[in-house]
Amino acid sequence: MEADSGVVLATERYGSAGSWKYLAKDGVVERKREDRDGESRGNSVVGVFKSVFLPQGYPESVSGDYLQYQFWDTVQAFSSSLSGTLATQASLRGVGVGNQEATVAAATITWLLRDGTGMLGRILFAWQKGSKLDSEAKKWRLFADVLNDIAMFMEILAPYFPACFTLIVCTAGIFKSIVGVAGGATRAALTVHQARRDNMADISAKDGSQETLVNLAGLLISLTLIPLVTDNAVLTLSLFFLFTILHLFANYKAVRSVVMETFNEARLSIVLQQYLRDERILTPLEANQREPVFLEFRKTVPIRLGVRLQEVIQSPEELQLATKKNNMPYLLGVRNGCVCICLGPEASVHQEIRAVCQAVWIGSKLSPPASTETNSHQHQSHWETVHESHKLMDTIFNAFLKGVEAAGWDTKRTLLDWDEWRVQWKSKSN
């Protein structure tokens, strides 16, 4: 046995795919895989699949939530591909495919109008919401998929309203352009999160391979579906709703599976509120499970980060109030029901986190809008609340910061939605 095994000279491994050893045997170096019996053949098939569809170095080269997210993302892409086939068939019928009275010019004009309005929608949406897509990637990812289903539903219904067909498909085109911006941008943001070895390009490329495979499977099934649903509105709508339910469920599970280790406003607020209640620090997994993934339209106290100085103070007296008990490179104030933060150019990432912690606490203490207090009384109480927040952070923030770092949070960078205003100020004492 000893002569058969030889002397081990070295060992090597390829990620987690397997390990090998080099043996000195009869004056020759042999390479032998350290596999259990019967595993080699199976592993070779799995290895080829991994190399084609998964990033190099998987699973060490990606985040821990990668596989679960990609599974649900594959399910949603498959159902969306089938829904898209139904919508495309309806759009083609609406522009006159199969109708001898339809003209090529009319169909072309309709298609160009749809594409043109979509281009304008893409530009306007990126201008208005581009900066939000990093900080609230989960919400906008789910929003994009819901909007995509609405757009496809409109395309399916459009042929039944010929008088409004062009208007409906142009509106659907605008929705799909928004989907393209929000979906593509949030996918990039999630790729940044998943990359653990500066391998964003590899992850993105393999994600494209996965999606192509799914779309190919959807195409094959669509070839079977199309003859069945042609001129059958009931079956078309029934299948569309079935695929839509599966699509939305898979998307919800996908964004819920993402575990971000960096703070945005929602995750920081969740962790801070829990710490203030019982001094317990939530892990990234716990906080992400509590993070809302739907866009919220209910009445809350908004927090505005990186605003102009005049949105915090409007008189020298207010500047003195803002700097009172404050030795930090930021100013906080309450204006028109919003908590505003004015940031200095030298503020560090940790100081930015502290500023948002104060703003979250102030927001939780603000009186409701329907309060019977006079404006001057409210104004005075707001500055008192700001001063209390400085004292509170002086007491708890260092311990809180150490706790979140120990719990696995990344505090070297954040996804807080800061605007670009930076201000240097002087108080009387200076």
Amino acid letter, 295: L
107 and 95 Cβ atoms separated by less than 8 Å: yes
118 and 173 Cβ atoms separated by less than 8 Å: yes
CA distances from 382 to 55, 126, 332, 373 (A): 52, 35, 10, 12
Q: Dihedral sign for Cα 105, 106, 111, 115, please.
A: positive
Residue 362, SS3 per DSSP = helix
Give the span between the Cα atoms of 363 and 367, in whole angstroms: 9
- pLDDT at position 41: 46
Q: Which domains does the chain have, with CATH numbers?
A: 2-53 (no CATH), 66-257 (1.20.1250), 265-406 (no CATH)
Give the span between the Cα atoms of 348 and 330, in whole angstroms: 10
pTM value? 0.86
- Where the chain has pLDDT below 70, the residues are 1-5, 17, 35-44, 94-104, 106, 298-299, 367-380, 427-430
String of DSSP letters for 189-253:
HHHHHHBSSS-HHHHHHHHHHHHHHHHHHHHHHHHHHHHHHTT-HHHHHHHHHHHHHHHHHHHHH
With residues binned 3-state (H G I as helix, E B as strand, rest as coil), the percentages for the chain, rounded to 5, are 65, 10, 30
70 burial level (CB within 10 Å; 0-12, 13-18, 19+):
buried
Nearest partner of 322 among 391, 387, 375, 377, judged by Cα = 387
What is the 8-class DSSP label of residue 158? G
pLDDT in tens, 335-365: 888 999 999 999 999 999 999 999 999 999 8
304 and 311 Cβ atoms separated by less than 8 Å: yes
| Structure token digits, residue 168 | 């409906």
